[in-house]
Chain A
Amino acid sequence: MIKLKSKTQDALLFYVLRTISLVVIALLLGIIFVLIQAAWPAIKAGGLTFLFSKEWNPVEDRYGALPFIFGTLVTSLVALLIATPVSVLIALFITEYLPKSISRIVALLVEMVAAIPSIVFGLWGVFYLAPFVKKVLAPLLKTHLGFLPLFQGPSFGIGILTAALILSIMIVPTISSICRSIFELVPAHQKEASYALGSTKYEMIKLAILSPSVSGISSAVVLGLGRALGETMAVTMLIGNSPVISSSLFSPAATMASVMANEYADANTPLHISSLCYLALLLFLITFLSNLFARTIVKSFSKG
């Protein structure tokens, strides 16, 4: 048996660890490379007009991504509009209002929402939320806010609004758990100083907790956005999957993720497959950039 010096042994371990770490980094680069390669025919055929063309027609082999980009952005933004205030308030409720023993349980319950598989959300959405939107929510919105183009037209239950509602439930744990960890960083003397000036609890929260945490909250929101953009199954089951652009929130639509889930297995022509890969590449880039953005905010936040 060869006897190595312990220094050599250490170097050996170091190189094994290093190599495997490099493999993981290479994997991420590999994902990018493979997607670009698969999307290349569609990039060559469509180029940038792919992004702005409204037509998605697999029968005539013509592809444009605009309806899906629209669907993805609208569902995610509506979901964020609902989820952001709710998540921030829940985080405050847990950290500031509840006694420690109960707050742990509530925090655990909120985190449990993140553990539910998205297919179960989809199933619940189809059999409970969609009928609820059709029978209760949509008529209510129509009678009170029907003058807005957002709430016009018939509601079939499934559509942008339903998908956005389920998305907002799904991203609350992401946003609120980050907000919670930010609020817990606020030093106690800062809160006490605010109380000492005679502020009520609400004023203390506004002055001592919320205003110094704005950048942290925004990074939490961006991370939530990244989660919403890429969510597939629940949205696929609830959005109606038709590539149309409509001003009404009741109308069906399709997202980048949902069209991939629906069409990828049955895609026949090479251009169709390639166009779907182009969409995958776009989705990857959008989530990649939003995560990168959130990370830089967090970094500057933790430094300051």
Chain B
Amino acid sequence: MNYRIYRKFKNFMFLVLTLVSALAVLIPLFMIIQFVLVQGASSLSLDFFTQLPKPVGEVGGGMKHAILGTIYIVLLGAAIAIPIGVTCGIYLSEFSKSKLSKTLKMTVDLMSGIPSIVIGIFAYLVVVVPLKSFSAFAGAIALSIIMLPIIIKTSEEILKLVPNHIREAGLALGLPRWKVILFIILKGSVSNLLTGMILAISRAAGETAPLLFTAFGNMYLSYNMNEPMASLPVQIYTYAISPYKDWQRQAWAGAFVLMVLILTMNLFARFILTKIKDKKGI
């Protein structure tokens, strides 16, 4: 009889443990979100979006240059990564049995595991050193290497969801394979592929480490690809480790904008991806 109570007690304790560990992760998550919301929203003003930074000591100013810089660098990186990534995704889903596609799959897995700072150093060595200047272009290259494995993986998964009988129907009509791939499989999955790209962009937009010594950062508005360019994460970092109260407030406001941007994109993409998978019954 005693043993039965002991077993029941153990069972109950385990339930408590799982609950505690779930709370151990959810509480920090809510704390971070609440902290960023409260601190960030109170530091936020219209100036933040429309003004450039003021010199140290003067209160006010904003991060217009960094917001535009982030958009510019991330889109440039995406423009490099998306065509290559989708092409590899097609190869992996349509020719999955070849030896090369197994090697490519492993490459993608290993690439997604490379620390982002190492990618930053690679971009520095390959782009910054030969061109002899920090540049937005180098930052875009670094971000494109970060986005690449994500885009390849999601596009492979999405294209594999296209049922085989659709491919066969196209081939049965006498279409060559490239037309089936391009005009049936790819065309039918465009909106789904877009969600994969949004996921990759949301990941790249938050990266700081690869931009530290590629795009570097500056304090003015610049659209020149060959010059250093500010970005939101790097600007937050610079302000966060500075001793000035006003700059730290700006860092919070920046974190708020960055979080809202990234979480919206991420949740949106996830929502659509789970909907797609539900519809296909997977």
Contact = CB atoms under 8 A, between A and B. Distances in A.
A19 to B, nearest CB: 9
A93 B22 contact: yes
A60 B235 CA distance: 32
Interface string A64-91: 0000000000000000000001100110
Contacts of A24: 84, 88, 104, 107-108, 111, 148, 152
A103 to B, nearest CB: 11
Nearest to B15: A97
Interface stretch (B28-36, B43-51, B157-165): B28-36
A118 B270 contact: no
B25 A288 contact: no
A124 B29 CA distance: 11
B255 interface: yes
Interface string B202-213: 110111110011
Contact of A120 (B8, B121, B255, B270): B255
Given A24-B84, A230-B115, A128 B91 contact: no
Given A17-B91, A31-B114, A260-B117, A265 B202 contact: no
B259 A120 contact: yes
Interface stretch (A47-55, A109-117, A146-154, A211-219): A109-117
Interface in B93-122: 94-95, 100-101, 103-104, 106-111, 113-119, 121-122
B59 interface: no
Given A24-B107, A226-B113, A17 B90 contact: yes
A22 interface: yes
Interface residues of B, number: 83
Interface string B245-279: 00010011001001100110011001000000000
Interface stretch (A135-143, A243-251, A276-284): A276-284
Given A24-B84, A237-B240, A128 B31 contact: yes
A5 to B, nearest CB: 9
Given A24-B104, A124-B36, A115 B207 contact: no
Given A120-B36, A230-B117, A6 B266 contact: no
Given A86-B24, A90-B25, A280-B117, A121 B32 contact: yes
Contacts of B132: none
Interface string A9-33: 1101110111011111101101100
Range of interface residues on A (Cβ < 8 Å):
35 or more
Contacts of B72: none
A264 interface: yes
A118 B212 CA distance: 14
A55 B3 CA distance: 59
B187 interface: no
Nearest to B248: A127
Nearest to A287: B113
A86 B176 CA distance: 52
Contact of B202 (A115, A121, A128, A237): A115
A260 B136 CA distance: 20
B100 to A, nearest CB: 6
Contacts of B270: 108, 111
Contacts of A122: 237, 240
B224 interface: no
B87 interface: yes
Contact of B213 (A31, A200, A264): A264
6 contacts: A27-B111, A94-B22, A97-B18, A110-B26, A126-B240, A257-B117
Given A86-B21, A120-B258, 8 more contacts: A35-B125, A92-B18, A110-B26, A116-B262, A119-B258, A124-B36, A232-B209, A237-B240
Interface of B: 7-8, 10-11, 14-15, 17-19, 21-22, 24-26, 28-29, 31-32, 35-36, 39, 84, 87-88, 90-91, 94-95, 100-101, 103-104, 106-111, 113-119, 121-122, 124-126, 145, 148, 152, 176-178, 181, 202-203, 205-209, 212-213, 216, 233, 236-237, 240-241, 248, 251-252, 255, 258-259, 262-263, 266-267, 270
- Return the 10 tightest CB-CB contacts between A and B, nearest first: A230-B115, A117-B206, A6-B176, A13-B178, A89-B21, A93-B18, A291-B113, A232-B209, A200-B11, A17-B91
